[in-house]
Amino acid sequence: MFAAARAAGVARSASVAFRRTYSTESSGLKDRLAEIIPQMKTDIAEFRKEYGEASLGNVTVNQAYGGMRGIKCMVTETSVLDADEGIRYRGHTLFECNDKLPKAEGGSQMLPEGVFYLLLTGEIPTDAQVAALSREFAERAELPAHVTTMINNFPDKLHPMAQFSAAVTALSSESLFSKAYSAGVPKDKYWETTYEDSLNVIAKIPVIAALIYRNVFKDGTVAALELDKDISYNYANQLGFGDNADFVDLMRLYLAIHADHEGGNVSAHTCHLVGSALSDPYLSFSACLNGLAGPLHGLANQEVLIFIKGAVEEMGTETPTDQQLIDYTWSLLNSKRVVPGYGHAVLRVPDPRFVCQQQFAEKYIPNDNYVKLVHQIFRLVPGVLKEHGKAANPWPNVDAHSGVLLQHYGLTEMNYYTVLFGVSRAIGVLASLTLDRALGLPLERPKSMSTEGLKKFVTK
């Protein structure tokens, strides 16, 4: 469909100048990790020595059949999800992160580079450290020729997430960890090349994601990378939205708030699980993307947007009265349908990620009808769900808002939205994978049982 344009796109990509050496201005992140890791290992060793046999709680039969929800059986250092206050990145709420982490010049939102530094170290980086990290990501972003060729040869009908996962898998040829492992690197050094691979993944995937977007939905041309810009600007610019400062700031917010959500969700758990087999970060993150692609995980924001557009069509207006919206919600519930984007497996409050997007929308696009409708739903629908009585959590999650923001700025291709999520999620899961290797976490191997075995176990 875009064969000729793609050829031009390849030529343009090939003309982009990338420096082969890394910046002399270091973020100091790797050196800081090298200082922190020994103390982390000592703290954990002492904790396990004293409390290693302490129980974390009972496991019920219903939990075994119910997706293991609520079972405390993993360690994730980067973030913790509290049912009553939402996600905390190394102890900081998202609102605190946006207040404390560095921002781009003229920008109002935290930079994802700062989130990555925080997740790895637990420390708030300086402006200079984040600027150096932005530069380092830009200098690592060049794609191998075989990956670019592979992406340009994908058929348009192949879903963007399938293209994304396949391209990341193909990047495994560049893994420094795999080379070091084959050469017999000591276990206590595994984290060092895992860190290098992780930075390379985070640096390269926005370029992959932009090339997929431009191939599938546009003319195949991709703008040159700008080495002095942050990762969100370059991603937005390569998508084709770099001239809209508000959209660039939205990308900073989007990548930051979707980065991590503790370790039990499908994408984070998959990356940890595959990584525990010592698969390299490219393969581990590709597996993460395959989990994220599922309709019960990363596709949820797309389903919310479809729902909102369907609601507008059924109600016959983008600006319903409160009573029209309440009546419509009851008609949904009475016909055994649901309100997508409302309810969360853990949260019992409005998702702070929803609130962050709500605040952005109120500041920048308060008069957009779909934004108004999303906020009207937030104001009215939880009360209806409570009265209905079957929703344990009547509050919105992150997916209830993100789609209308993207639509407003012209990124209307819903099949692409999960790719955005994947670009963001790399920041959290690869920070966590680096720490997994640093702390020497073992191969994950839980015990499974058959139904017959469970019957015997509980009745003996």
Rounded Cα distance, 254 and 339, in Å:
23
Name, in order, each residue with C-beta under 8 angstroms of 171's C-beta and a sequence gap of 6 or more.
143, 144, 147, 200, 201, 204, 282
**Are 114 and 125 within 8 A, CB to CB?**
yes
**Amino acid residing at 381:** V
Is 408 in the active site? no
- 340-350 in b/e burial notation, b at 16+ Cβ within 10 A? bbbbbebbeeb
Tell me whether residue 334 is exposed, middle or buried, using C-beta atoms within 10 angstroms of its C-beta: 0 to 12, 13 to 18, 19 or more: exposed
Owner of token pair 């100048």? 17
Phi, psi (degrees; rounded to nearest 5) at 110: -60, 150
Owner of token pair 């919105």? 396
**Are 425 and 259 within 8 A, CB to CB?**
yes
Of 183, 33, 159, 161, the C-alpha closest to 423 is 161
Of 326, 305, 329, 311, the C-alpha closest to 399 is 305
Is 197 in the active site? no
**Are 212 and 419 within 8 A, CB to CB?**
yes
Catalytic residue of the set 344, 351, 401, 408: 344
Is 297 in the active site? yes
**Amino acid residing at 208:** I
**Are 146 and 28 within 8 A, CB to CB?**
no
Catalytic residue of the set 249, 280, 399, 436: 399
Encoded tokens for 198 = 């992780």
Encoded tokens for 331 = 């008609």
Catalytic residue of the set 159, 297, 375, 388: 297
Side by side, the strands of the sheet bearing 79-82 are: 79-82, 86-89, 92-93
Rounded Cα distance, 225 and 18, in Å:
8
Rounded Cα distance, 17 and 141, in Å:
11
H-helix or E-strand containing 357? helix 352-364
Reduced to 3 states, what is the DSSP secondary structure of residue 79? strand
Half-sphere exposure of 100 (CA within 13 A, CB side): 16
Rounded Cα distance, 407 and 420, in Å:
13
Rounded Cα distance, 348 and 343, in Å:
8
Rounded Cα distance, 445 and 200, in Å:
29
Catalytic residues: 297, 344, 399
